[in-house]
Amino acid sequence: MPSVVRVAIVGAGPAGIYSAEALTKGAVESGRQIEIDIIDRVPSPFGLVRYGVAPDHLSIRSVRDTLDRVLAEPNVRFLGNIEVTGDASVGVESASLGRIGRVSIERLRANYDAIIFCYGAATDRNLGIPGENCVGSLSATQFVNWYTGHPDTAPDAWDSMLGSARSIAVLGVGNVAVDVVRVLAKDRTELEHTDMPEHVLGALGESVVTDIHLIGRRGPAEASWTTKELRELGELANAEVVVDPSVLNLGESSRRLVESSKVVARNVEVIRQWVQQPPRQTKKRIHLHFFRRPTQVVVVDGAVAGVELEETALSQDGQVSGLGQLHVMPVDAVIRSVGYRGLPIPGLPFDDSRGVIPHVDGRVMEDGAPVPGMYVAGWIKRGPSGIIGTNKKDAVNTVASVLADLESGTLPTRKSSEDVAELTGSAVVSHEGWQRIDAAERALGTTRSRERTTIHDRVDSISIATQAL
C-alpha cells in the first residue's frame, strides 16, 4: 500500500464534498495521508446547491459556505471544468477558455487508488407521452438550470416562451414543481434580492405569463411537496391561488394519510385555507389541479397549444387509475417536473431501470461482485431522494467502505501518479480560482444592492478563475 493514498471524487455537489470531508476525518483518525481531488465539469462547485436550489431560498443556498470550508482543507483539491468520460480512447483532453477538459475513467483508475462517483441525477424523467418534446415543452431541469445560471444553458433559452406564453402548465406536484411555479409567479421586485443572473431577472421581468396551472395525478394528500414550500405560493404579492373546493372531498386512502401524517394534514389544511379565502385581484393566478394525468401535449404547427388530461381516481389502497374521461386544457407552454434521473457513463455499471449505479454499501457492483477501487455516493447511488443533509450520512456510509478496503489491503495499486490538473491544461479551475469567481460575483452583486450575482458564462468564469493573482 502506497504511503500516500490518492482518491478521485467525480462530482463537486454535496455528496462529493461530504465524501471528501469523511475521507479527511478518516485520514486524521487512522494517521494515513489521503489526498483528494474533487472533479467537476462546471467551473464552480456545489452542484444542486448552486444549480438546483431555488435562488429565493437563501437559507438553504447558504450551506455552500459550509461546503466551501471542506474545499479549503490542505489535502483536498477542487478541479473544475473537467469532464470524466467512459471513452477510453479520449485519455486526456486539455481544457481551454471555451472548452471543457476531459479525462477517461481508465486514466483515473491508473492514477488513483480509489474513485468515488458522486455526479448526481442530471436529467429529467420522461413522461412518455406524444408531443412532450415539441417546441414550448421543456423539463423543469432545463428551466431550473436557466434561472440558476448554469453555464450549459443559453442566456436567452426561454426568453421567447416567457415573452409570448400567457398560460403555462407545470406537470408534477413536488417541491421542484412548486419552485418553478413560484419563480414564474413572482414579479422582478420579489426576486431582486436573489443571486439570479441579470439576464434571468430581465426575462422574468418581461414575462407575459398570467396563469400557471399546477397539475397532479393524485390528490392534495398524496402530493410530495413540503408545507413550507406550499405555503409560499399563498404569500406572493401579485399572485393568488385558485383551487376547486371539490378536491377536499377526500377518499378513504387520502383520509388515512391525513390521519397518519402531520405533514400531510398540514398540507391539506393549507389548501383548505386557500379554498375558503375570498378572491384577490392579482396580475397572476396559480391554479391547482388534482386527479388529472397528462396523456399528450397538444401540438399545433409544431408548438404547444394545450395539454390533454385524463381524469383519475384513487382506489382504497391509494393506487391511481384513469377514468377514460379526457379534456384539453389550452396552454401556451408545458414544463414537466416528474423527477430527476441519473445518466450512465459508458463502461461503468448502470441500472437503467432505476437510473443509478448498482452498489453494495457504496461499492460499485458488476456481475454480482464489487469493482475494486470503485465507489458511489449521492443521488447516482440511491436515486433522487432526501434533502441536502441526507447526502452527508450517505457519503459517510460509502467512505466507511473505502476506509475498510484500505485497511484490508483490497484497494488496487495505482500504476502512476500523473497530475490530472496538469494533464488537462491551464483552464482547470482550482479552489483558488473558484474563490476569484466567488469574489467577482459578490462584487457584481454589490452594484445591484444584493449579496451576489451569479456569473453564468463559462468563458467569463474561467477567465476570472485563471487570471494572474
Domains, the chain, in order of start with CATH, read 4-122+342-465 (3.40.50.720), 125-339 (3.50.50.60)
Beta bridge partners of 375: 116, 363
| Cell matching residue 7 | 482518491
Predicted local confidence at residue 469, as pLDDT:
39
Cα gap 337→180, rounded to integer Å: 9
Cα gap 460→429, rounded to integer Å: 12
**pLDDT over threshold 80, residue 468:** no
Predicted local confidence at residue 156, as pLDDT:
96
Side chain identity at 347, as an amino acid letter? Answer: G
Confidence of residue 7 (pLDDT cuts 50, 70, 90): very high
Per the model's pLDDT, the better-predicted residue between 352 and 468 turns out to be 352
Instruction: Tell me the average pLDDT across 63-91.
Output: 94
Question: What is the percent of the chain with per-residue pLDDT over 70, rounded to a whole number?
Answer: 99
Per the model's pLDDT, the better-predicted residue between 287 and 340 turns out to be 287
DSSP code of 190? G
Q: What is the pLDDT of residues 421-453, one digit of tens each?
A: 998 988 999 999 999 999 999 999 999 999 999
Predicted local confidence at residue 1, as pLDDT:
55
Q: What is the pTM of this model?
A: 0.94
Confidence of residue 136 (pLDDT cuts 50, 70, 90): very high
Q: Which residues of 103-113 are buried (b: 16+ CB within 10 A; e: fewer)?
A: bbbbbbbebbb
- Asked whether 12 and 376 are in contact (CB, 8 A), the reply is no
CA distances (Å), 376 to each of 22, 70, 382, in order?
14, 19, 9
Instruction: Tell me the average pLDDT across 408-421.
Output: 92
Cα gap 114→160, rounded to integer Å: 46
| Number of helices followed by number of strands (H, E) in the chain | 17, 21
Predicted local confidence at residue 93, as pLDDT:
87
Confidence of residue 227 (pLDDT cuts 50, 70, 90): very high
**pLDDT over threshold 90, residue 316:** no
Per the model's pLDDT, the better-predicted residue between 3 and 150 turns out to be 150
Predicted local confidence at residue 2, as pLDDT:
64
**pLDDT over threshold 90, residue 62:** no
Residues 6+ apart with CB under 8 A from 448: 192, 198
- Asked whether 185 and 229 are in contact (CB, 8 A), the reply is no
Instruction: Tell me the average pLDDT across 237-254.
Output: 94
- Return mean pLDDT, the chain: 94
Instruction: Tell me the average pLDDT across 14-43.
Output: 96
Closest CA to 387 of 63, 2, 7, 92: 63
Confidence of residue 387 (pLDDT cuts 50, 70, 90): confident
Instruction: Tell me the average pLDDT across 103-126.
Output: 94
Cα gap 351→365, rounded to integer Å: 10
| Cell matching residue 100 | 471543457
Instruction: Tell me the average pLDDT across 301-321.
Output: 93
Per the model's pLDDT, the better-predicted residue between 22 and 280 turns out to be 22
**pLDDT over threshold 90, residue 317:** no
Instruction: Tell me the average pLDDT across 291-304.
Output: 95
**pLDDT over threshold 60, residue 193:** yes
